[in-house]
Amino acid sequence: MTKRLIALVGPCLLAMIAVACGDEGFGASPDAPTPTNVPPTFVRIVVTPVATRTSVPTVPPTRTPEPGELRTGEPEFQLHLDPELTDVRPEDDVIFAGWTNYLANAAVIHQGWETELHLCSNGVVMIDGGLHENFTNWQIRRSPAISSADWGTVAVEIEIIGGRWKGRHWDVLTLVRRVGKVFVTNSPQLGPLDVTRSELCLGNSI
């Protein structure tokens, strides 16, 4: 009977002792720190990408001389008429006027020529000896042989006033602007055209 009572009471006593002792029972150290769980803190940084602006190069138009203004410096090509520098096609009147201003009072010579051709203002054509006896009334135009899409190419047309072909018009030069130079395209000897200020024209204009 006594053994049965001990068997029944024993587990209850052990349970009571465990509850009474708590964490300090059965070898637990009273000085041991209580573990603390701190949740990690995350700081989210939002970076907003800034779009890179790519500047589109623009070619400012070269100053156009006023009508009748005497140009004494070296001929300067108007860059907004260069198809390699701009995608905006000017009107034909602007193209023709720009080329006319560039070549007015200019002396031009191409390889194989024996003398310079002076394209003076008001359509006057001269050579080193004076007025050209057969050529006059030069102007810039686009011949039927030049496609309208090829707006960088123009023709220098002259009126023939003497000789066998008197009364006709002739494209004495077909010019195109490439790699910063003016090239002749209607000659067996293709190449750049040398364009300088004509002192002969300037002297004739005074």
User: Partners of 127 in the beta sheet?
Assistant: 130
Strand 130-131, strand 135-141: pairing? unpaired
pLDDT single digits (tens) 129-146: 899 999 999 999 987 777
Q: Where are the domains of the chain?
A: 79-205
User: How many C-beta atoms lie closer than 10 Å to residue 104's C-beta?
Assistant: 22
pLDDT tier, 49 (very low <50, low <70, confident <90, very high otherwise): low
Mean pLDDT on 140-169: 90
pLDDT tens digits for 62-119? Answer: 444 454 455 568 999 999 999 999 888 999 999 999 999 999 999 999 988 889 999 9
DSSP-assigned states of every residue in the chain: -HHHHHHHHHHHHHHHHHHHHGGGSTT--TTSPPP--------PPP-PPPPPPPPPP--PPPPPPPTT----S-----GGG-TTT-SPPPPHHHHHHHHHHHHTTEEEE-TT-SS-EEE-GGG-EEETTEE-SSEEEEEEE--TTS-TT-TTEEEEEEEE-SSTTTT-EEEEEEEEEETTEEEE-SSSS-EEPEEEE-HHHHHHH-
What's the average model confidence in pLDDT over 36-51? 51
Please answer whether residues 126 and 204 qualify as being in contact, where contact means their C-beta atoms are separated by less than 8 angstroms.
yes
